[in-house]
Structures are given as C-alpha cells and as structure tokens.
Amino acid sequence: MQKGKLIVFSAPSGSGKTTIVRHLLTKKELNLEFSISATSREKRGQEEHEKDYYFLDLQTFKNKIKNDEFLEWEEVYRDNFYGTLKTEIERIWALGKNVIFDIDVSGGLRIKRKFPDETLAIFVKPPSIDELKIRLKKRKTESEDKINMRVAKASAELATAPLFDEIVINEHLDQALDQAYSLVSNFIEK
C-alpha cells in the first residue's frame, strides 16, 4: 500500500486543536482525512458514531486491546479509553489520502515514534493554564469536576511540548490557523 503522510495534532484539552484540525480538513489541496479514534467515553452533544469517534463499550474496547488491534491507545481519563485502530490508517491510505489526528500527547508521540519519517507532530499550546480553564468553562460540555481533571492533566502535558516537531501557540486563532496550514502544507509537499 502507498503510504500517505501522518499529521498529528496534540494538545491539552481546550487548547483549540480540534478547531485547527477541522479548519485544515476544509482545505481540499491538503488531501487530508480525519483519523476517527475509538473511545469508551459517552457520546457528547451532536457527536456521531463513525464520524467523530467509534463509540465502543468498555469491554469491546478492552477486547480490541487484547487482540492487538490498536496502533496506540491510552486511558486518557479514568475508564475513558481512546485509541487509534490499525484499520483506520489502512482505510485512509487506501483512499490515497494523508491522515490527520486529533489525539492526546502520549498517543501523538507514539505515532511519531512508530512512523518517524511519515509523521509531522504538532503541539498546540494554550496561552496559559488560566486561559485554558476559561475556555473549558465556556464550552459547557463538562462538569466542574471533569474540567478540574482536564486542567490538572494539562500541566503535565505542557511539559512534553519540546518533544514535538513543531509548536503552535493558539493565542489568536487566525494566526494559529495560518501557521498550522503552512506547516502542514510544507510537510506534505516534501
């Protein structure tokens, strides 16, 4: 199979990486297809099965781990598993497209380690932890407890930023979108 490129966006939850990934997916010339992750967490709001995530129950997820069906997986929050199925990359490469990932920091680095030449790993940084908390509160998708859990995790995640190929600071969204576009477009043309 012809291998495409792998574009990884990782960041603490609430940094705006999903917005950046969605923006890049509208750029046809980048020939990107979203890697749909599997997760054991509950569906949120407007999310759809097989579009935003493959929503699996916890047991099914664990069986797939046992059967070595994941390229990488992570218990991102307690009992909330997330992972990239090997079949997902094969599906996208078979379409002749490049894969774009919206995944957590450890998953992103694992993909980079497995495919060092094909992968561009980008870390999206919020301007500050306080700003991150404000954004998560505004999103109104998580309880106070869950927000605190995500913020606590963010500090540890920020420390991994230097391990990525590139860092995009999402202070002004327009600038972050432009910077992300240039990085991805240059990498794909290589």
Closer of 28 and 41 to ligand 5GP (Cβ): 41
Q: How many CB atoms lie within 10 A of CB 26?
A: 8
SS3 171: coil
Closer of 37 and 119 to ligand 5GP (Cβ): 37
The residues, ordered by sequence, that sit 6+ positions from 181 with a Cβ below 8 Å of its Cβ are 23, 24, 27, 30
Residue nearest to ligand 5GP (CB): 107
CB of 183 to ligand 5GP, least distance (A): 18
Query: Torsions phi, psi of 118, nearest 5?
Result: -85, -15
Closer of 106 and 160 to ligand 5GP (Cβ): 106
Asked if 115 contacts 158 with a C-beta cutoff of 8 angstroms, the reply is no
CB of 107 to ligand 5GP, least distance (A): 2
CB of 55 to ligand 5GP, least distance (A): 11
* CA distances, 101 to each of 25, 119, 151, 190 (Å): 11, 10, 21, 19
CB of 82 to ligand 5GP, least distance (A): 4
Task: State the helix-helix crossing angle for 129-139 and 144-158, rounded to 10 degrees.
Answer: 150
**DSSP string of 44-88, one letter each residue:** -TT--BTTTEEE--HHHHHHHHHTT-EEEEEEEETTEEEEEEHHH
Closer of 72 and 118 to ligand 5GP (Cβ): 72
CB of 81 to ligand 5GP, least distance (A): 9
Residue ranges in contact with ligand 5GP by CB under 6 A:
13, 37, 41, 72, 74, 76, 82-84, 102-104, 106-107
CB of 28 to ligand 5GP, least distance (A): 24
Closer of 2 and 46 to ligand 5GP (Cβ): 46
Closer of 5 and 64 to ligand 5GP (Cβ): 64
Gap between the Cα atoms of 40 and 19, Å rounded: 22
